[in-house]
Structure formats: structure tokens, C-alpha cells
Amino acid sequence: MEKHVVVIYPHPDDESFGAAGTVAKFRSEGVPVTYLCGTLGEMGRNMGNPTFANRETLPEIRKQELMDACNILDMELEMLGYRDKTIEFEDRRQVAHHIKTYLDKINPSLVITHYPGFAVHPDHNAYGAAAIEAVSLIEPENRPTVWAQAFSNDTLEKLGTPDIKNDIEKYFDKKIKAILAHASQAIGVISQYRNADNIQSDLNELAKQNLGIERFYVWKY
Amino acid sequence: MKPIEIDKVQDKLEHFKNKQIYIHLETTNGAYASHFNQDKYNVGAYIRNAKASYHQAKIVGDGKSFRVGLKMEIGWIYAEGLTDWEMLDSKLLMAGHDREGRLMVSLQISETPFSY
Ligand SMILES: [Zn+2]
């Protein structure tokens, strides 16, 4: 059994879309989970539909959504205070050391983050790289396992089959609840899964198809 | 935000004329454009808290979508595709949203810096 799980993603909602089922499963086993959220998603384009946020009110709204989602998932939350879309321009070593201060305190057995280069958004790739570097700074015998999440279109071709495939059906309702806590983002993100082939299907179906399994690669140091 | 009322926004643009102002100017099609459609490109730019001053300003449009041009001593500030506006803490916020409420462009003017 895991001792403590740390989730390291840059945006409010990454945890709900990417790992809510996995988090819920760990929590049901009594494993503590902490989310180190990098930014407040200040530069997000989704403003609600119909819009209720604007560029200036979005950060506070997303902060509240994040806290609500973490309550639903029953996990601890730390906000590291970077700015959306800028993490790749920060000094990676510095970000890694910043993350490591939390890892030193928590001493996790498992870290979940994005797979650098395969996580589409520049913040995902940069923050994932910093998280993986942070773990590399820990003595090998004390290092937590790292599960890295990849979903760029070339993932299967380049990385092969994921090592971990969590079928989260049992926790799917909780996952949807956590996603919907991100009211300014949820519908806009889910509707992006629509393409020419599934233009008719409803949002619930789209969500099931795209979010029902959480996949990770075990990082090799 | 609410749909742009051209006369009211023009009034506000006049209000900031010849003052030291801070600009937030942004355009984006999101970080996922080429992920969901390989024929698309990810394009975006933003500048936040650029200090500027203009002596002439105009909003022009067809009733739905608007352009704003601010004439400075040695250049211009320009935004196209603006659809909505709001005054927030004495800051003029203007933005253009797509059908699904996603922000595509924004131009904001303030006498005090935007939070960073
Ligand atoms: Zn994200």
C-alpha cells in the first residue's frame, strides 16, 4: 500500500481530468494524497458557458473551484504560485528545488505528474520535467515511484503501452463531480473531445470515452 | 461581461486619453488547437502591464464584433474581434469570445497595474 501520494500538475482541473479516479481510489484505501498545484490557470480561455468570468476575475474563481474539487476528492492542496503559461520560462532547477521542499516534508511513496514532452501543454511539460528533476534530487533509496501521464497524439507510437491503466469506473461519478467543480472550465474542455466522428454524442458519453481510464508510465531513473 | 455598447466604450476610451496607463493585450487560440486538429496552429501572444499613453482612440465595428485602435506618439495599439466589455475596479476590460464562451482576444486598460 502507498504511504502518501503527491500529485504534481500545473493547473486547477488537471487533477480532476487526469487523476481524479486514481486519487479517489487511494483515498478509499486511506492513503493520504496531496496536490501541488503550480498555477491558478490565470490565462485560461474558458470563461464559463455562458461566460461568467473575465481575465481579471478568473484566478480567484479558479482558486475556489480548485479548493472545491480538492474537497470532493478529499485531498490536501498546496498552491505553488507560478503563473499560467510561464512555467517553461522559469529556471527549471529552481522550480525543482521548490517542489522538492514539499517532497522533503511529505516523504511520499508515489508521485504523479505529467510526462515531459508528451503532455501537450507547455506548462504540463515544464512542470512535469521539474517534478521529475525534484525526485531525482532525492537519494535513490528514498525516491518515490513516479507515474508520468502522457496524452500527446504520438504517445502510443513513441512510448508504447502505458505501464499503469487504472479503470476508474467505480469512481467515475466522483470524478465527474470533481470535474464539474471546475464550473468555468468543465464544459469547454469536454466539448473539445467532439470531432467529426462523434459530433452527435452527448457530453456524458464523451466524458466516459475519454476519461474512464487513467493511464501512466512508470518513470525510469 | 456584456455585449459592447459602442458609445459607452468610446466614452471610456476618451477617459483614459493622455494618461499614463497600463495595457493588457492578448490573443490566443488555446494550447490544444493543434492537439485536437492537426491542421491548426497554436498561436497566441500577450503583454501584461505594458506602460503606455495614447492621445487618440476609436472603437469601430458592425454591431457585433469590434476593433479598437489607440494612437500613441510613436505607434499604435490594436485589437480586433472584441465582442464584450465591462468596467471592473475602474479598469476597462474588453474581450472577444467564441460561440462556446472561450476568450480569443482581449484588450484591457487601467490607470493602475493589473495584478501579476
Ligand atoms: Zn493543464
Interchain contact A206–B (C-beta under 8 A): no
Instruction: Give chain A's domains with CATH numbers.
Output: 5-218 (3.40.50.10320)
**Segment (H or E) for B24:** strand B21-28
Strand pairing category for B56-61 and B44-52: unpaired
Interchain contact A85–B (C-beta under 8 A): yes
pLDDT tens for residues A20-56? 999 999 999 999 999 999 999 999 999 998 899 999 9
Interchain contact A200–B (C-beta under 8 A): no
Cα A13 to averaged position of ligand 1 atoms, centre (Å): 7
Q: Which three cell numbers stand for residue B51?
A: 506602460
Q: Which three cell numbers stand for residue A59?
A: 484566478
C-beta of residue A47 within 8 angstroms of C-beta of residue B16: no
pLDDT tens for residues A81-123? 999 999 999 999 999 999 999 999 999 999 999 999 999 999 9
Cα B75 to averaged position of ligand 1 atoms, centre (Å): 36
Least Cα separation, residue A156 to chain B (angstroms): 15
pLDDT tens for residues B93-105? 999 999 889 999 9
The terminus-to-terminus CA distance of chain A in angstroms comes to 22
C-beta of residue A49 within 8 angstroms of C-beta of residue A187: yes
Residue A171 CB neighbours (<10 A): 22
Quick one: average pLDDT of B2-23?
98
What is the rounded distance in angstroms from the CA atom of residue A21 to the CA atom of residue A176?
A: 9
C-beta of residue A78 within 8 angstroms of C-beta of residue A67: no
Q: What is the pTM assigned to this prediction?
A: 0.93
The residue type of A84 is: D
Q: Which residue has the higher pLDDT, A190 or B67?
A: B67
* Residue A69 neighbours by CB under 8 Å, 6+ apart: A12, A13, A15, A16, A20, A178, A179, A181, A182
* Lookup result for grid cell 491542421: B39
How many CA atoms within 13 Å lie on the side-chain side of A120?
Answer: 21
Q: pLDDT grade, residue B30 (50/70/90)?
A: confident
Q: pLDDT grade, residue B20 (50/70/90)?
A: very high
